[in-house]
Amino acid sequence: MSYLSSLKSIFLCREDCFFLMFLYFRCNVVIGITKEVFVNIVYPIKDKEKIAQMKKILSTNKRNLLLFNLGINSGLRVSDILALDIKDVKDKTFIELREQKTNKYKQFPINEKIQSDIKEFIQNRNINEPLFLSQKDNRLSRVQAYKILRKAAKEVGIDVHIGTHSLRKTFGYHHYKQFNNIALLQRIFNHSTPAVTLRYIGLFQEEINDSYKKFFL
């Protein structure tokens, strides 16, 4: 039976739906699909102190720290980050790539701190190697990146679901908080409307929650 047929049969009644959600939250995996893939409910890291704590934990491994820093400072999808080779970043002040999901060309500057971290990280390495290697010298996978981030998030006590997409959402959330320019962020993310961008970075829900806290009759 195909995956789609399996899902269709599971959702035939409401009771089955609730049972599926119970299994999903209790077991983390339903019919072989991880939480992050099954439901794209991952959140930005909104607390800057938590970000600093994660950096401290990840600093024991230069690869992991650079992965985190590049993610939260570029707004790239993790698939595009993991696809980078050393030649794409060596002695570069800009990163140029074609997004894997949209096939759109993207160019953006690398800030000086990230440039410095990259220079140190790739020292004496072959320019044709993947930027991020696993312990077996293969290109780091999305699953491996997910485990790295989840472990660090758990250690600092982040109690919302964090996944690889959280890096991009974290960039978006703090970019908007710093510049208050949703139109600019919409263009960076190639979203269709500002509303999509606000929802994507979690601000719609944040505004709803704040309104409930302040509302009283």
77: annotated active-site residue: yes
101: annotated active-site residue: yes
Q: Choose the catalytic residue: 35, 46, 142, 168.
A: 168
- Name the H helices within 75-155: 78-82, 86-89, 112-121, 142-155
Distances (CA, A) of 102 to 80, 97, 165, 209: 11, 11, 16, 33
Q: Choose the catalytic residue: 101, 136, 213, 214.
A: 101
- Write the single-letter amino acid at 180: N
125: annotated active-site residue: no
200: annotated active-site residue: yes
Q: Choose the catalytic residue: 35, 43, 46, 77.
A: 77
Q: Choose the catalytic residue: 50, 106, 139, 191.
A: 191
- Write the single-letter amino acid at 29: V
Q: Choose the catalytic residue: 165, 169, 174, 175.
A: 165
The number of angstroms, rounded, from the C-alpha of 26 to the middle of its chain's C-alpha atoms is 23
* CA–CA separation, 189 and 169 (whole Å): 10
Catalytic positions, please?
A: 77, 101, 165, 168, 191, 200
